Amino acid sequence: MVHERYERAEETNVKILVPVKRVIDYNVKVRVKADQSGVELASVKMAMNPFDEIAVEEAVRLKEAGVATEVVAVSCGATQSQEQLRTALALGADRAILVESDAELQSLAVAKLLKAVCEKEQPQLVILGKQAIDDDANQTGQMLAALMGWPQATFASKVVVADGKATVTREIDGGLETLAIKLPAIVTTDLRLNEPRYATLPNIMKAKKKPLDTLKPAELGVDVAPRLTTLKVVEPAKRQAGVKVADVAELVAKLKNEAKVI
């Protein structure tokens, strides 16, 4: 089904770059490592960051509508991130780039790597998830926009691309805001932008034959050394049991004196 907003195809030369991140599958119960250095990742089920799936879906829909000419998926991380790139290819991306690094990549390093890829690939639009569900940083898109000096529209719930600009509806605290930004530009996706499709079996099979290039951070001239140090990672505090109050007076007293909210 082609949504109405994808039907206009006036811009004919839009290349879209879609960064995707390999994260713990959202169904997995995350465990903190015994030494509190991070969370347990060894052989835990991994998947594409759900917000990135939305980004891939949006890019593929723009291509299906004739607005985009090419969709390139890119991932920065360990070799296994190939699996998530193959997923993107199965969903409809044309080719993929892995920036391979076993180092811990923080948001700024990823943004710098993506900048280098943008300079190489010259996309008109970068669509990426607003945040990754592992570190919830919500930084990469914004940092990339700053590094590139491109306009950005974050938390998109609707994207229309035409006449050299993107008209983006964003979800903000007070409701919805619509921005028009000139291409090339950065868009980050919110949950309601679209509902990602299921990959079809023939496309899963074809994904293996689509091109997947591998680059190293050094080739891109990017220093990925972490700028932040993780001191420790702990489980969220367990919820305390509630208490019963005898009457309204006691409730008000507790709210006033213990919770200090009124």
Partner 1 sequence: MNYTAPLQDMQFVLDELAGLDEVAQLPGCEEATADVVGAILDEAGKFAGGVLAPLNRTGDRTGAIWFDRTVTMPPGFGDAYRQFVDNGWAGLGHDPEFGGQGLPRVVSAAVREMWKSANHAFALCPMLTDGAIEALELCGSDELKQQYLPKMVSGEWTGTMNITEPQAGSDLAAIRSRAEPQADGSFRVFGQKIFITYGEHDMAENVIHLVLARLPDAPPGVKGISLFVVPKFLVNADGSPGARNDAYCVSIEHKLGIHASPTCVMSFGDHGGATGFLVGKPNEGLKYMFIMMNAARYAVGLEGLGHAEAAYQHALAYARERVQGRAIEGSDASVAIIRHPDVRRMLMLMKSQTEAMRALAYVTAAAQDKALHHPDADERQRQAAFVDLMTPVVKGWLTETANRIAYLGVQVHGGMGFIEETGAAQFMRDARITTIYEGTTGIQANDLIGRKIAREGGATLQAVIAQMRATQAQLAASADADAVAIAAALAAGIDAVGQCGDYIVAQYGTDVRAVAAGAVPFLQLMGIVAGGWQMARAAQVALGKVGAGGTAAAGSAATSETAGFYAAKLRTARFYAEHVLVEAPGLAREIVAGGASVLALHDDQF
Cβ closest to partner 1, residue 41 vs residue 137? 41
Task: Tell me the window of 3-11, 86-94, 147-155, 160-168 that interacts with partner 1 (CB under 8 A).
Answer: 86-94
Question: Which of 12, 43, 240, 257 is the binder for partner 1 (CB under 8 A)?
Answer: 43
Distance, CA of 54 to CA of 133 (rounded, Å): 13
Residue 205 Cβ vs partner 1, minimum distance, rounded to whole Å? 6
Site string for partner 1, 187-226 (x = CB under 8 A): -----------xxxxxxxx-xx------------------
Cβ closest to partner 1, residue 118 vs residue 207? 207
Cβ closest to partner 1, residue 33 vs residue 256? 33
Cβ closest to partner 1, residue 42 vs residue 248? 42
Enumerate residues 6+ apart whose C-beta is below 8 A from 208: 86
Task: Tell me the window of 32-40, 123-131, 156-164, 220-228 that interacts with partner 1 (CB under 8 A).
Answer: 32-40
- Does residue 240 belong to the site contacting partner 1 (CB under 8 A)? no
- Does residue 27 belong to the site contacting partner 1 (CB under 8 A)? yes
Residue 202 Cβ vs partner 1, minimum distance, rounded to whole Å? 5
* String of DSSP letters for the chain: ---GGG-------EEEEEE--EEE-TTSPP-B-TTSSSB--TT--EEE-HHHHHHHHHHHHHHHTTSEEEEEEEEEESGGGHHHHHHHHHHT-SEEEEEE--S---HHHHHHHHHHHHHHH--SEEEEES--TTT----HHHHHHHHHT--EEEEEEEEEEETTEEEEEEEETTEEEEEEEESSEEEEE-TTS--PPPPPHHHHHHHTTS-EEEE-TTTTT-----SS------PPPPPPPP---SSHHHHHHHHHHTS---
Question: Which of 34, 237, 259, 261 is the binder for partner 1 (CB under 8 A)?
Answer: 34
- Does residue 243 belong to the site contacting partner 1 (CB under 8 A)? no
- Does residue 1 belong to the site contacting partner 1 (CB under 8 A)? no
Q: Which residues bind partner 1 (CB under 8 A)?
A: 27-28, 31, 33-34, 40, 42-45, 47, 82-83, 86-87, 90, 198-205, 207-208
